[in-house]
Amino acid sequence: MTEPVVIGSCGRAHGIQGEVAVYTDVPEAFQPGFGVVTGAGGALTVSSARPHKDHILVSFEEVLDRTTAEAMRNLELLVEADRRPPLASDEFWVSDLVGLQAQDPEGAQLGIVASVVTTDAQDRLVVDTGHDRVEVPFVPEIVTDVLDTHVVIDPPAGLFD
């Protein structure tokens, strides 16, 4: 059994029959019969899902009314890491970045990715250098490659000083 990872988060209730707005990077995972666990520990099974604006609307077998759906707002939806849907060869799971070595383009060690900060404006890698934590903008001009064992960071002058 692997550690659970976040694959979505619940937004507002939609309608009176218990649909929930779900924000996810993997809407294709939310197929009928797909099981998730909430951050609060409850198990849910998808009964239907459909696209809607910048999210999907999901009905769960266990959520039958608006009141229950409203109580799910801001809950994270998790799945065992080995049950995540497959990705294309140039894609990766953000949670898989934590623990990777951070190297500059010449291969010199910069530190270890301690966490990933996700925001609407710009995601950032938090790199633990051993004596400091440096927030690195997660943009292609700076994080130039993501590999299985490490990320390549081409830092602007002064970022790691």
- Which sequence spans correspond to the domains of the chain? 4-83, 94-153
Angle at 63 between CA 58 and CA 65, to 5 degrees: 100
Q: What is the CATH number of domain 4-83?
A: 2.40.30.60
pLDDT interval class at 119 (50, 70, 90): confident
Higher pLDDT, 121 or 155: 155
The mean pLDDT of 2-13, rounded to a whole number, is 90
Strand order in the sheet with 124-128: 133-137, 124-128, 109-117, 101-103, 150-153, 143-146
CA distance 82 to 45: 17
Task: Classify domain 94-153 at the CATH class level.
Answer: mainly beta
Rounded to two decimals, the pTM is 0.70
